[in-house]
Amino acid sequence: GEVAALAKSAVAFDPSASDLPAMAESPEQFRGQSRLPRFAEPLRYDLVLRPDLAACTFSGSASAAVAVSSPTRFLVLNAAELAVDRSSIRFQDWAPTEVAQFEEDEILVLGFDRELPLGEGVLAMDFTGTLNDQMRGFYRSKYEYNGEARNMAVTQFEAADARRCFPCWDEPAFKAKFKITLEVPAELVALSNMPVVKETVCGPLKTVYYEESPLMSTYLVAIVVGLFDYIESSTLEGTKVRVYTQVGKTSQGKFALDVGVKSLDLFKDYFATPYPLPKLDMIAIPDFAAGAMENYGLVTYRESALLYDEQLSSASNKQQVAITVAHELAHQWFGNLVTMEWWTHLWLNEGFASWVSYLAVESIFPEWNNWTQFLDETTSGLRLDALAESHPIEVDVNHASEIDAIFDSISYDKGASVIRMLQSYLGAERFQKALASYIKKYAYSNAKTEDLWAVLEEETGEPVKDLMTTWTKQQGYPVIYAKLNGQDLELEQAQFLSDGSSGPGMWIVPMTACCGSYDLNKKFLLKGKTDTMHIKDFAASQSGQNFWIKLNIDQNGFYRVKYDDELAAGLENAIKAKKLSLMDMIGIVEDSYALSVACKQTLTSLLRLLNAYRHESDYTVLSHVTSVCLSVNKISTDANPDLSSDIKQLLIKLLLLAAKRVGWDPKDGESHLDVMLRSLLLIALVKLGHDETIKEGIRRFHIFLEDRKTPLLPPDNRKAAYLAVMRTVSTSNRTGYDVLLKIYKETSEAQEKSRILGSLSSCPDKDIVVQALNLMLTDEVRNQDAFYVLGGISLEGREAAWAWLKDNWDHVVKTWPSSSLISDFVNSTVSPFTSEEKAAEVSEFFATRVKPSFERALKQSLERVRISARWIDSIKSEPSLAQTVQQLLLQEF
Ligand code: BES
Ligand code: ZN
């Protein structure tokens, strides 16, 4: 059993893995290696951990059954920020003669005075460490119980931080079984991946023994120790599912529990494999770096991503909880049972979990129109991947800090989108069947991207590998230029880049087209640079006004389309005549926006196109239209200050019809999506400076202050009201800021806190923005929540925010060391700039400060600044912009 499984995983090893000779002479030879050698591999860990919640330290003992496969004197494993007790180390009965801990490489090398016997032996050692406050490794989180501050102990090991908790072979392909034991204060809840087998109490302490886990990767090991309440339910198969919350708050866990149980049932069918563990716990952690983490059998969440309260949460909070739960539970199969062989294949985890989460949520909440909302993911993937500083889905990574940096929109959103593209090409049923056999084939083991393609090819007979390799090994994506030439539609592909250049990339593009009706459609692979599609039979039934051709039906493909003027005009008419699917309407406005940014079409024509959406009333479409409107508003402020207030008025006018329809007050029996639409439009109108909406927001805010339960300001509309309040705050009139801050301090609801944090920094007054930023440095704001403040910074506050970041840089890097958090700081302060001079200034500041954890984020941000600068130059020379704006403003709706 075990050795066979081991052999299986050894075969799957990446060739880039360290091939260091087992016969090294000294520990020094292992220095500078970011991958572990594989001549010794763990089979089973026996782990005892004793956290001290008061002192914020822990001690532990680990013993690992190790299989030695070639003659060696050395054992090499990972350890970081741990004090290993050298005198405790034994392999069988032997103490090492050399012990070297290379902090830089995060490895521990043990040298023995003799060759280790081939086969199985046991390595044991004791160690101590700190329960840190950095939300990684074994860390402490703070909560309040009966008005008293308390600590809990929590783990977050992905991507490479298990080594901060115990010495281990901390790479995903070293799967082993884990038997965990905890010694903790008797009154606390202590959880791990597996169920408890035995508990003994000794004075104030208890020892909790957990069942041995199946083969799993180190990054999925988890422990939580603190005070919690739980609610419980079970799947159809009888798996116990629990949601743990702060004491007294279990009612907020009901929604997630329900979604969790339904998702498990659904995934079991979809993957044709039962949930692999005896139990599943989901738990809300007050300090949490990411949104959630799929630890095997013990999934951890930040509170806002797990808890839902009928009275206090918004419809969008509800969606976020559902998507997050479905995503993490999808990982229990895709990620935990079958694990990527190395982080290069991270997208197999994240892209798939994201894609499958939409599948689950679509089936649980069909009225949410979830697959149309999926285009949000595709959009962010397309936007990021249009940068020269993007990266391929499959990307070389070695050092731990590089790994963290690829948890980005490429791995998640592009990953999920190319899966959707492939599924639509192969057909849903064939695709599902093949996925199920992939899961079976690689269960309890590891796989690479190519392993998945091989299974799909075998099951479907289609050239999956050739097709998909162009999408996963190559960064970027194509724009397809479509030109009508008589009865022919001429197509040409070129890599799309937002800086207006075209890259060298070439793709095998699954093309679809329909003409005049969705019933008249075609499907083919574009393999070369150009191709021609005959549309004779298509076009015959079409004429004049009604003639339109839409490529990339329902935006199933990860590419953009640039239509010639005639085709574009046809589509504009089709939009006005409501002939197109929601997804296609989204695709057209997104492509058009992206082409404008790249100066491949004018802002003038983008505004004309936006005008075609003025009667639209669907949330999913309008969410893309508003996002484009807000970007246009920002760029026009810098590009054409004289015209920008007219452009603002025009954008307001475009959104106003729909906004008037939904109003401020919820209507009986209205749909989930209309609730989302109301909040979307109110927020957009406030951001665009629409006086009436701002006044009404402030009026309702005052009513809300008198009566926090007033139906006049339900949670869905609060963000809009808070933003409205902050529009009028200034240093001389700061009541609004102080009142919001007071509400922030009073509430214990994470979602409400995040709404307020995202509003405080949106003030046009730069001194107030600085105050909001300074708030992040105080105990009032948890480090996990900094990005809400950063995400809200007003355009007017960007200079002040940048100056603030420079002033506080040393503190910021120390406090937010994780890649995603520090990248947020850089991205949100740098990206809003729009001039070459600013880009140069930023580069200079970071020349001596850049680190691998945010290097790519910095380059991407700088690229965005330069792209904006170029766009502005081009807008300045658009001859008919002013005239078009006036014309559209005068037009009656
Ligand atoms: N595996 C990730 C959590 C993670 C992210 C660990 C980054 C280490 C570094 C988890 O499955 C995840 O993807 N969480 C998402 C939520 C999801 C709904 C997209 C997150 O945290 O945002
Ligand atoms: Zn994930």
Specify which residues 195 forms β-bridges with.
Answer: none
Architecture of the domain whose range is 342-421+443-472: Orthogonal Bundle (1.10)
Report which protein residue has its CA nearest ligand 1's atom 22. Answer: 291
Token pair for 213: 């886990």
C-alpha closest to that of 262 among 357, 197, 182? 357
Nearest-angstrom CA–CA distance, 550 and 571: 7
Nearest-angstrom CA–CA distance, 564 and 570: 10
Report which protein residue has its CA nearest ligand 1's atom 17. Answer: 324
Phi and psi angles of residue 465, each rounded to the nearest 5 degrees, phi first = -65, -50
CA of 290 to the centre of ligand 1 (A): 6
Nearest-angstrom CA–CA distance, 810 and 200: 47
Q: Is 292 in the pocket of ligand 1 (CB under 6 A)?
A: yes
Report which protein residue has its CA nearest ligand 1's atom 15. Answer: 291
Q: Is 616 in the pocket of ligand 1 (CB under 6 A)?
A: no
Shared fold status for 228-333 and 342-421+443-472:
yes
Q: Which atom of ligand 1 is nearest to the CA of 291?
A: 21
Residue 566 burial by Cβ neighbours in a 10 Å radius (0-12, 13-18, 19+): exposed
Distance, CA of 724 to chain centre: 29
Q: What is 788-814 written as a DSSP string?
A: HHHHH--GGGHHHHHHHHHHHHHHHHH
Q: Which atom of ligand 1 is nearest to the CA of 290?
A: 21
Q: How far is CA 272 from CA 7, 453, 656, in A?
A: 25, 19, 48
Amino acid at the residue 112:
F
How crowded is the C-beta side of 589, counted as CA atoms within 13 Å? 32
Nearest-angstrom CA–CA distance, 173 and 36: 11
18's torsion region: left (phi>0), alpha (psi -120 to 50) or beta?
beta
Q: Is 285 in the pocket of ligand 1 (CB under 6 A)?
A: no
Q: How far is CA 499 from CA 204, 502, 595, 835, in A?
A: 64, 9, 10, 14
Strand arrangement, sheet containing 107-111? 74-78, 107-111, 98-102
Token pair for 178: 């884990």
Third-level CATH fold of 228-333: Neutral Protease; domain 2 (1.10.390)
Nearest-angstrom CA–CA distance, 706 and 341: 57
Nearest-angstrom CA–CA distance, 18 and 41: 13
Amino acid at the residue 105:
D
Residues 28-33: contacts with CB under 8 Å, at least 24 apart: 28/100, 30/74, 30/76, 30/100, 30/102, 30/105, 30/107, 30/109, 31/100, 31/102, 31/105, 32/105, 33/76, 33/105, 33/107
How crowded is the C-beta side of 140, counted as CA atoms within 13 Å? 19
Architecture of the domain whose range is 477-581: Sandwich (2.60)
Nearest-angstrom CA–CA distance, 29 and 36: 12
Token pair for 795: 């355009």
547: Cβ contacts below 8 Å, ≥ 6 apart: 515, 516, 539, 570
Q: pLDDT per residue over 509-527, tens digit each? A: 999 999 999 999 999 999 9
Which helix (DSSP H) or strand (DSSP E) does residue 726 occupy? helix 715-727
Q: Is 392 in the pocket of ligand 1 (CB under 6 A)?
A: no
Q: Is 327 in the pocket of ligand 1 (CB under 6 A)?
A: yes
Nearest-angstrom CA–CA distance, 890 and 665: 30
Q: Is 293 in the pocket of ligand 1 (CB under 6 A)?
A: yes
CA of 350 to the centre of ligand 1 (A): 8
CA of 291 to the centre of ligand 1 (A): 6
In total, the chain counts a number of residues equal to 893
**What's residue 23's pLDDT?**
73
CA of 415 to the centre of ligand 1 (A): 14
Q: What is 87-133 written as a DSSP string?
A: EEEEETTBPPSEEEEETTTTEEEEE-SSPPPSEEEEEEEEEEEE-BS
Q: Contact at 8 Å (CB) between 480 and 525?
A: no
Secondary structure, 3-state, 26-95: CHHHHCCCCCCCCCEEEEEEEEEEEEECCCCEEEEEEEEEEEECCCCCEEEEECCCCEEEEEEEEECCEC
Ligand nearest to the CA of 324: 1
Domain boundaries, the chain: 1-226, 228-333, 342-421+443-472, 477-581
CA of 345 to the centre of ligand 2 (A): 13
Q: Which residues are annotated as a binding site?
A: 327, 331, 350
Dihedral sign of CA atoms 335, 338, 343, 344 in order: negative
CA of 491 to the centre of ligand 1 (A): 38
Pairing label, strands 298-302, 279-285: parallel
Q: Is 413 in the pocket of ligand 1 (CB under 6 A)?
A: no
C-alpha closest to that of 110 among 40, 19, 173? 40
With the most atoms of ligand 1 within 8 angstroms of its CB, the residue from 161, 324, 402, 410 to mutate is 324
Please confirm, yes or no, whether 294 is among the known catalytic residues: no
**What's residue 5's pLDDT?**
41
Q: Contact at 8 Å (CB) between 813 and 852?
A: no
C-alpha closest to that of 121 among 99, 77, 91, 157? 91
Task: Check 328, 696, 749, 855 and give the catalytic one.
Answer: 328
Report which protein residue has its CA nearest ligand 1's atom 10. Answer: 293
Q: Which atom of ligand 1 is nearest to the CA of 350?
A: 13
CA of 791 to the centre of ligand 1 (A): 18
Nearest-angstrom CA–CA distance, 142 and 135: 11
CA of 878 to the centre of ligand 1 (A): 43
Q: Is 323 in the pocket of ligand 1 (CB under 6 A)?
A: yes
Q: Contact at 8 Å (CB) between 493 and 479?
A: yes
Q: Contact at 8 Å (CB) between 290 and 155?
A: no
3-state DSSP assignment of residue 482: strand
Third-level CATH fold of 1-226: Immunoglobulin-like (2.60.40)
With the most atoms of ligand 1 within 8 angstroms of its CB, the residue from 157, 158, 408, 818 to mutate is 158
Report which protein residue has its CA nearest ligand 1's atom 6. Answer: 158
Residues of the chain with pLDDT under 50: 1-17
Report which protein residue has its CA nearest ligand 1's atom 2. Answer: 293
Question: Please, what is the end-to-end C-alpha distance for the chain in angstroms?
Answer: 72
Report which protein residue has its CA nearest ligand 1's atom 3. Answer: 293
Report which protein residue has its CA nearest ligand 1's atom 20. Answer: 291
**What's residue 588's pLDDT?**
98
Nearest-angstrom CA–CA distance, 497 and 502: 6
Token pair for 846: 């970071």
Q: Which atom of ligand 1 is nearest to the CA of 331?
A: 11
C-alpha closest to that of 648 among 630, 664, 666? 630
Phi and psi angles of residue 739, each rounded to the nearest 5 degrees, phi first = -65, -45
Nearest-angstrom CA–CA distance, 709 and 359: 35
Residue 724 burial by Cβ neighbours in a 10 Å radius (0-12, 13-18, 19+): buried
3-state DSSP assignment of residue 387: coil
